[in-house]
Structure 1
C-alpha cells in the first residue's frame, strides 16, 4: 500500500525565515538597546562603577525598588486570584463593569494614577486622613510605594489566571466531591495545581512591571533619598546631572538583577509545568 506525500504547505513561512525575522526583530528592539546600555556603563573604570552602583543611596534605592515590587507582586498574587475567581465563577449585577475596571491601570497614564493615589492617601486625603489619625502614614512612605505598585500590577495576575479558570473542567471538581473531598481539598488538590503555572506567570509579569514603574511612584513616594527614592528616580537624577555613564551603570545593575530574578521565576514555572503537567 502506497501513501501519497501531503502537498499541504504551512500557513506561516518556514523555520529559517521565521527565525531570521524573530532574531532581527529582537536584536533591533531588545538586544541592541540593552547592549548599548551596558557599553555606556563601560565608560567608567571599575572603581567609578563600584562607587556609583554600591553607594549607600543606590543600595537603599535597590532595597526599596525590589522589596516593594516583590511585596506588591505577592499581594497581587493573592487578590488577583480572588478577583479572577469572582469574575469567572459568579454572576452578579455590574460584573461587566468590574471586569472592565480591572484593565483600567493598563489604559490610565501612570502619572494620573500617581496623582490620584496621592490625593486619596495623603495625610489630608480622603482615606489617608483616617489612617493618619492612628499614626499610620501611607503617602510619602514605602507603604505608599507598595500601594502604587499593587495598583499597576493587579491586571497582570487577573488576566493571566482568568482564562485558565474559565477552561478548568468543573466535572473534575464534581468527581472529587463525589469521592468525599471537601471544598478545601478540592481547591488544594484539583484547582490550585492547575493554576500554579498561570499564577507564576502573573507574578513574574506583575513583578517585572513594578520594577520599572516610575510615573505613579514618583508622586506618592515623596522621593526622599535613603527612604522613599526608587532606583528609576535615581537614574533620572543622574541623567538630569548629565551623568550618563552613572545612569547607565545603575541601569545595568537593575537589568542584571531583574534578569536573574525573572530567570529564576521562569525556571520555577517550567518545573511546575513539568511536575503538574506530566502527572496528568
Structure 2
C-alpha cells in the first residue's frame, strides 16, 4: 500500500483559493474600482486629460527619469553586485548593508537629504553649480532621487545569480585563450542577462510610482520638473477626483505595457539561455575552441 504523502502547506485547490482572494482584495479590487471610477468620464474625456500639455510633460518627466535611473542602476548595480560576490575586502559587510539602506530609509527623509546635499548651498551643490551643473530643483534631481531608491532592486536580483556562476568557468575560458572582455561578453553576460533585465524592470516600476523622495528635490515646476504622481495629488487637492483617476488609469496602462514588454523580453532571453549549451562549452568557444 503506497504511503500517503503529507504536505506542510494545504492542497492546490485551497492554496489557489487563498491566493486569488488575497490578490483580489489587495490588487484587483482597488484597481478595478479605479478603472470603474474613471469610466464615468468616458474614453474621450480620459484621452483629453491625458493629452493635455501639463499631463504630457509630467508623463515625459516621470517615465524619462525612471528609464534613465533604471539604466544607470543596471550598469552600476551590476558592478556593485559583482564586487560584493567575487571580491573580499575590508568593510564588505558594511557596504553590503548600505545597499539595503534605501529600503529602510523613509523616502521623504531621502528626498530632504538629497535636496540639502545638492542645493546651491549644499555640501556638493556649492561646488557643482558654479560649474554649470544644477541638480536640485531640476529634472536631474529627480533622476538622482530615483537612482538612489532603486539601486537595491538591481543588486539584490543579480547577487544570487552571480553566486551560482562558478569561477572555474571563467578560469576555463581564460586558460583557453579568452580575454577578460571575451569571457564577460560570451560567458558571463548571457548567464546574468535575464536577472539583470528583471532588476531593471523592478527598478523602473518602483521609480515610476515614487513620490516622497522626488517632491523635495524636483522643484515641482509644471511642464519642467513635475512628475505624474504629484500632478495626481494636485488634482485631488483641487477636488478633481475624476481627473486624478483618469491620469492614474492612463499611467497604470502605460506602466503595464512597458512591464509586459520587459517581461516578454526576459522570458525570451531566459528560454534562449536555457536551450543553449552549458557554460563549460560556451567558455571553450570563448577561448577559440569549437
Once the two structures are superposed, the pairs formed by residues 168-179 of structure 1 within 5 Å of their partners are 168-179=165-176
Task: State whether structure 2 residue 258 is matched by structure 1 residue 264.
Answer: no
Aligned CA-pair RMSD: 1.1
Once the two structures are superposed, the pairs formed by residues 236-251 of structure 1 within 5 Å of their partners are 236-251=233-248
Aligned match of 2:113 in 113, 116, 119? Answer: 116
Q: Per-residue deviation at 1:10? A: 3.1
Alpha-carbon distance between aligned partners in 2 of 1:261 and 1:168, rounded to the nearest angstrom: 30
Q: Deviations over 1:153-211 (max 9, x none)?
A: 00100000011111211111111112111111111111111101110110000000000
Once the two structures are superposed, the pairs formed by residues 165-204 of structure 1 within 5 Å of their partners are 165-204=162-201
Aligned length: 277
Alpha-carbon distance between aligned partners in 2 of 1:214 and 1:221, rounded to the nearest angstrom: 10
Q: Per-residue deviation at 1:6? A: 4.4
Q: Per-residue deviation at 1:12? A: 2.4
Q: Per-residue deviation at 1:49? A: 2.1
Per the alignment, residue 13 of structure 1 pairs with: 10
Alpha-carbon distance between aligned partners in 1 of 2:189 and 2:225, rounded to the nearest angstrom: 36
**TM-score calculated relative to the size of structure 1:** 0.96
Q: Per-residue deviation at 1:251? A: 0.3
Once the two structures are superposed, the pairs formed by residues 124-135 of structure 1 within 5 Å of their partners are 124-135=121-132
Alpha-carbon distance between aligned partners in 1 of 2:157 and 2:44, rounded to the nearest angstrom: 44
Q: Per-residue deviation at 1:214? A: 0.2
Per the alignment, residue 79 of structure 2 pairs with: 82
Query: Could you list the runs of 4 or more consecutive aligned residues of structure 1 that deviate by over 4 angstroms after TM superposition?
Result: none
Q: Deviations over 1:137-161 (max 9, x none)?
A: 1111111110100000001000000
Alpha-carbon distance between aligned partners in 2 of 1:47 and 1:24, rounded to the nearest angstrom: 34
**TM-score calculated relative to the size of structure 2:** 0.93
Alpha-carbon distance between aligned partners in 1 of 2:50 and 2:225, rounded to the nearest angstrom: 18
Task: State whether structure 2 residue 226 is matched by structure 1 residue 235.
Answer: no
Mark the runs of 5 or more structure 1 residues left unpaired by the alignment: none
Task: State whether structure 2 residue 32 is matched by structure 1 residue 35.
Answer: yes
Q: Deviations over 1:71-118 (max 9, x none)?
A: 100000000000011111111111111110110000000000000000
Task: State whether structure 2 residue 150 is matched by structure 1 residue 153.
Answer: yes
Per the alignment, residue 52 of structure 1 pairs with: 49
Say which SS state the counterpart of residue 58 (structure 2) adopts: helix
Mark the runs of 5 or more structure 2 residues left unpaired by the alignment: 278-290
Task: State whether structure 2 residue 105 is matched by structure 1 residue 103.
Answer: no
